[in-house]
Structure 1
Amino acid sequence: MKLVYAFDAYCGWSYGFAPTLDEVVRRHPGLDVEVVSGGLFTGSRRVPVREFGYVQGANAEISQLTGVTFGTGYARLIADGSFVMDSEAAARGVAALRQVAPGRIVELAAALQHAFYVDGLSLSDPATYRAVAEAAGLDPDAVVGAFGAPGSAAAAKEDFARAAGLGVDSFPTLLAVQGERTTALAVGHATADHIDRRLGAFTAVF
C-alpha cells in the first residue's frame, strides 16, 4: 500500500494541509508517499490574481482552520493583483525536486509552498528553486538544471494526467492505494487523526 498526495503548489488549501501530511508521514514512516502535482492554474485559469476575488477571504479561512500563516513577502507579491500563478511551472519545479531527491519530496513540496506563501517567491523563477535547494542541502545547479530541462515539462503533464486518472478534481486530495483499490483519506482539509481512522478502516479489509 502507498499514499498518493495530489496537490498544487499554488493551492492555498494544499499549503494549509502540509502540516497534516507531515504528521501523517511522521506517524507512518514506512509508508511510501507519491506526490503528484495538479493543474489548478493552467489554460484559461492562468490569469492575474486580481481575477480571483476570493483569494484574501480564502486565505483567512485557511489560516483559521489550519493555523498556517501567510507571510509579508507573499502579501507584497500579490498586492497589485498582477501576479500570475502558473501551475505548469510549479509542477515542473516539483518534478525537478522529485528527480533530485525523490525520498524527500513531501518535505520539499512543503518547502516550495513556504517559498511562495511566506517568502513571496514566484514558482516560475529558477532562482526560487535554487533557494529551496540550498536551504535543503541539495545541489542547486542540479535542481535548477532539472527545472529547465524538457523532462520536467513532460513530468508535469504526466502528473496532471495521473491526478485526473485517479479521479482527483480538487486539491489537496490524499489517497490510499492498494493494488486496484483506492480510497480518499482527505479532500481539502482533515486532521491526522481523521486520516488515521480512514487508513485503519481501509487496511482492515486486507
Structure 2
Amino acid sequence: MTHLIYVADPMCSWCYGFGPELQALLDAVPGSRLDLVLGGLRAYNQQVLDDTTRTTILSHWKHVEERSGLPFGGNAMSQPGFIYDTEPACRAVVAARTLVDEVSSAAVLNVFHAIQHGFYAEGKDVTDIGVLSEIAVTALNAVEGADSYDAISFHETMLSPMTMSDARQDFEQSQRWGIRGFPALLLVHQDALHMIASGYTTRDELIATLKQIQQA
C-alpha cells in the first residue's frame, strides 16, 4: 500500500492550488493511505493584518489563481482588524481527524478542502470557530452521511485542550521534519520518508517521482 503524508495548512494559498493535483494523484493510486499533518503557516499570529502585507498576500493569491485555475472570490482579509492566524483552521482539521475513524481519511481531507474553499472562493472568515464548525460539519456529513455530526459538538471538540495540544504537536512534527514551506508531500517507503513534493507540483510530476522512488 502506498503511504503518503501531506503536510499543509488550510490557509496556505499554494496548498489550495495544490488540492486538485493531490486528488489526481490519489485517484491514480487507488487504495493509498494519506495522513494529514497540519503545518501551522501563521499559527498563533496576533498581529492585525496591515495594508502592505495584505497586498503582498493578494499578489500570491493571483499567482495561485493563474497557475491552478481555482476560484478566488470574496476577500475575508478585508474586514477591519483581521488577524491572519491559521491555528484555528488547522485545529478544525485536527478535530475532524479526532472524530472520524482511521479508515475515513477522505472525510478529513474533505474538511481541509472545504475550509480552503470557504476562505479563498467564498471569502469566509475561517479564523472564526463558529464558521469553522459549520464548514467542517457540512464537509464531514457529505462523506460520512447526513446528520453524522453536529456543529455544537464539533465546536466543543475544537475548544478541548486535547485538540489544541494535538494541533501544536502537528506543528512541532512538521518542524522536526525540517519542513518550512507548504504544501509538502512525503512518501513512506522502506521505513524512510521521501519528499515527493515541496511546493506546488503537478499530478504528472508527482506520479513520476512516486514511481521513481518505489522502483529504486
> Quick check: TM above 0.5?
yes
Q: Of residues 138, 147, 154 in structure 2, which corresponds to 1:134?
A: 138
Superposed displacement of residue 150, structure 1: 1.0
Equivalences for residues 169-184 of structure 1 within 5 A:
169-184=180-195
2: distance between equivalents of 1:184 and 1:135?
29
Matched AA of 1:97: A
Superposed displacement of residue 61, structure 1: 0.5
2: distance between equivalents of 1:60 and 1:186?
21
Equivalences for residues 1-206 of structure 1 within 5 A:
1-43=2-44, 46-48=47-49, 50-52=51-53, 53-72=55-74, 75=75, 77-80=76-79, 82-101=81-100, 102=102, 103=104, 104-132=107-135, 133-137=137-141, 138-140=148-150, 141-205=152-216
Q: Percent identity among equivalent residues?
A: 25
Q: Deviations over 1:25-75 (max 9, x none)?
A: 122221111111112113567541535231121111100101111112xx2
Q: Is the 8 A contact 2:45 2:85 kept in 1?
A: no
TM-score by length of 1: 0.89
Q: Is the 8 A contact 1:17 1:189 kept in 2?
A: yes
Q: Deviations over 1:57-105 (max 9, x none)?
A: 1111100101111112xx2x22256311212222211111111235221
2: distance between equivalents of 1:46 and 1:24?
37
2: distance between equivalents of 1:124 and 1:44?
11
Matched AA of 1:116: F
1: distance between equivalents of 2:139 and 2:32?
25
Superposed displacement of residue 188, structure 1: 1.4
TM-score by length of 2: 0.85
Distance 1:14 1:46, change over 3 A: farther
2: distance between equivalents of 1:43 and 1:69?
27
Name structure 1 gaps, 5 residues minimum: none
Matched AA of 1:191: T
Name structure 2 gaps, 5 residues minimum: 142-147
Select between 1-10 and 137-146 the one with higher mean Cα deviation.
137-146
